[in-house]
Amino acid sequence: MAPQMELPRIPEPADETDVMREQLEYLIEHAALAGQCGCSDCQRYLRVRAVLLEIFAEPQRAKVQEMAPQWARAA
């Protein structure tokens, strides 16, 4: 009787939120320790930070003179 071979185990895919959290923690730690040295990880940190904080940015203010014609048409 031939010995049975055990099939290789395929690991479960990692949870995306866990991976993102781990990457974000890594980038924050790198930026804190390296003081934003300008490497590719620092550049990634700055891009991620900008995207995550985008929601807190104030909308650009339009000049009243530019908005007046739009308001006149709406009325």
pLDDT for residue 16: 94
Q: What is the pTM of this model?
A: 0.56
pLDDT for residue 7: 85
Return the domain boundaries, the chain: 16-57
pLDDT for residue 68: 63
| Block mean pLDDT (10 aa), the chain, length 75 | 78 92 94 83 92 85 64 62
pLDDT for residue 70: 66
pLDDT for residue 57: 84
Q: Which helix (H) or strand (E) holds 44?
A: helix 40-53
CA torsion 33→34→39→45, rounded to 10°?
40
